Chains A and B, each alone.
Chain A
Amino acid sequence: EAGVVQSPRYKIIEKKQPVAFWCNPISGHNTLYWYLQNLGQGPELLIRYENEEAVDDSQLPKDRFSAERLKGVDSTLKIQPAELGDSAVYLCASSPRQGSYEQYFGPGTRLTVT
């Protein structure tokens, strides 16, 4: 069974530029999460989807961050414009169903903003 796929794995951009990250969850997993992981810290939830509905986006900085999950499968997380402080690893995870406590993580996208 394929795991959670994320791309790109690494991205370097200049500040004020836009950037997008893509996530393909494990087949059949209805719940999808985006996390932000700063260096030396644990992941922090940005947004959680149940199918195509964002059920928890309270931690998403909506002035510059946006996300979508069309058709309830793949998801895209976008930052526009990027700031220096956005440099971090962006992790995607999926769960088989709502409320499942087992989350399967992708390898992440390491973003560097210069």
Chain B
Amino acid sequence: AQSVTQLGSHVSVSEGALVLLRCNYSSSVPPYLFWYVQYPNQGLQLLLKYTSAATLVKGINGFEAEFKKSETSFHLTKPSAHMSDAAEYFCAVSDRGGTSYGKLTFGQGTILTVHP
């Protein structure tokens, strides 16, 4: 079964600093990978997804993530944090085929705090 681990349940950065949220997956076959953001009392919003050969994926709000097969990682980054980036971020994985096609398995989430 697919699984994903997010290192660090809380990350705190200063406004303007680099944001790095870590995600590692476990799978014998490279899966499809996603990052979602959840603001308080709201549903999840897709930030970006990896489903193709392009290993560097750009998403909304200036975020990007790089798929590294050798490290089984899909870390999320943003060069300069903004106060509005404060939210909870979830990494998710999906099989490319089989009976679990399209089924998402989420990590436990990382709460990002941005301070002035």
Contact = CB atoms under 8 A, between A and B. Distances in A.
A108 B43 contact: yes
B102 A100 contact: yes
Interface in B91-111: 92, 94, 99, 101-104, 106-109
Sort chain A's interface into a size bin. Answer: 20 to 34
Q: Is the interface of A mostly helix, strand, loop or mixed?
A: loop
Interface stretch (A13-21, A35-43, A64-72, A79-87): A35-43
Nearest to B91: A42
Given A99-B101, A101-B34, A41 B109 contact: yes
A93 B102 CA distance: 12
B108 A42 contact: yes
Contacts of B108: 40-42
Interface string B58-81: 000000000000000000000000
Contact of A40 (B9, B44, B46): B9
Nearest to B36: A105
B9 A101 contact: no
Interface string A86-114: 00000101010011111111111010000
Given A42-B107, A56-B103, A108-B42, 11 more contacts: A40-B9, A42-B90, A42-B106, A43-B104, A91-B44, A99-B101, A101-B94, A101-B102, A102-B46, A103-B46, A105-B44
Interface of A: 4, 31, 40-45, 48, 56, 91, 93, 95, 98-108, 110
